[in-house]
Amino acid sequence: MTENAWTRWPSREALSRAGVSRPRRSLAWGVRLLVLALLLWSAFNQSHVHGWGMAAAVAAVLVTAATAWGFYRATYAHRLLPSLVLISVLLAVAVAAEIAGFRGQALVIWCGCGISALERLPIAVALPVTSVALASYSAFNNDVWLTTAATVVGMALAGYVMRLDAEARGHAQLLLAQERAARAAEAESAALGERARIAREIHDVLAHSLSAQMVHLEAARLLIERGADREQILERVVAARGMARDGLAETRQALSALRGELTPLEDFLTELVGSTDGADVTVTGERRALPAEASQTVRRVAQEALTNVRKHAHGAKVQVRLDYSEHEVTLNVRDSGGRPGELTGSGGGYGLLGMRERAELLGGSLEAGRDDEGFEVRLRVPA
């Protein structure tokens, strides 16, 4: 529902000093102090006022200033009734000043009320208040009617222009606040995304390495309890040490990736398949640098797929194929089938489910399943 323009207050941003330059703010205060000084000087120079009358005139000027300040605070808080009461007091003070012979002061108060009402009150309320104030000014002004009419029109226009200027400034402040909030939300979202990425990297790197070490160490413990020979126990311990070394290397590589220090993807795959018997890698398409997240996803899927081969298809031949197309990169890992390996019972980090989630976060896909020959993992990532 659209707010009625006639009953809408200027925003608090428009009525505040936010967005007002220091020179302009200094100029506004200078004008206010000048008006106050002129009112006081005029009160002191009235020939028909002496003694207590002079003190009353000065007190009336100070009360007028305090009431004007209260009117500004009430309009800033969008409090209609106090605003109307305070501006009515100002109009009454102007009438009293006219009756007491302080015509100059009365005319200044009427002008100020007319301009301020248009600037700070809802239009439906400001128009009658301004009409009363400027009508009073016209009635008691001694200038010729054409000059008085031009002055009244000029003051009405000045009040409305000041209102438009304040509303434009307030709108700019609102837009600035919204932009700052959007930037803060974007920065927070980026930080949360980065934390999630780091968590995935740590989990994917360490989970399968630590679980494999646990399998070997548990096997070593059982061999010791059964009184197995030294060579069998040593074989398990050496295997656990190798897993720890590989996990440390992968951790260092993940940290390098988080810093943006990635080795070429082709070199990584070549090194990765080099540690798997019967595996080879093929790269097709025009090679290019991939975004860090896409590159890491390809690396992690390749690692997980080869880990699954060692677990479930020991001794199988593995074909790793990386294809660069125009808008995406495709990784295909296929094994020829084999016997379950000694790591079958170990966990595998997020596994293929976690890898699928990684791919979907990037707008890609991951498919995995058996065929006539063995098992195939197929990853597509936009890049």
pTM of the predicted model, to two decimals? 0.49
Three-class secondary structure of residue 308 per DSSP: helix
The C-alpha angle with vertex 199 and arms to 196 and 202, in degrees rounded to 5, equals: 150
Per-residue pLDDT of the chain (383 residues; tens, 9 = 90+): 345 778 888 888 888 776 666 776 677 667 767 766 766 666 556 555 555 556 776 777 788 889 989 998 999 999 999 999 999 999 998 888 888 777 777 888 888 888 889 888 999 999 999 999 989 888 888 778 888 888 889 888 988 888 888 888 888 888 888 888 888 888 888 777 777 777 776 676 676 677 778 877 888 888 888 888 888 888 888 888 877 877 777 777 666 666 665 678 888 888 878 766 667 888 898 888 888 788 888 888 888 888 778 777 767 788 899 999 888 999 999 887 766 554 444 444 446 777 888 888 888 999 888 877 778 899 999 98
Count CB-CB contacts under 10 A for residue 364.
21
221 vs 228, 237, 341, 344, CA distance in Å?
A: 10, 10, 19, 18
Instruction: Report DSSP state, residue 1.
Output: -
Q: Which domains does the chain have, with CATH numbers?
A: 12-142 (no CATH), 264-383 (3.30.565.10)
Instruction: Report DSSP state, residue 7.
Output: T
CA atoms of 131 and 325, how far apart (whole Å): 74
Nearest to 207 by CA among 257, 241, 247, 242: 247
Run of H or E including 172: helix 145-225
377 φ/ψ sector (left φ>0, alpha ψ -120 to 50, else beta): beta
What per-residue string of b and e applies to 163-202 under the rule 16 or more CB within 10 Å gives b?
beebbebbeebeeeeeeeeeeeeeeeeeeeeeeebeebbe
CA atoms of 148 and 143, how far apart (whole Å): 6
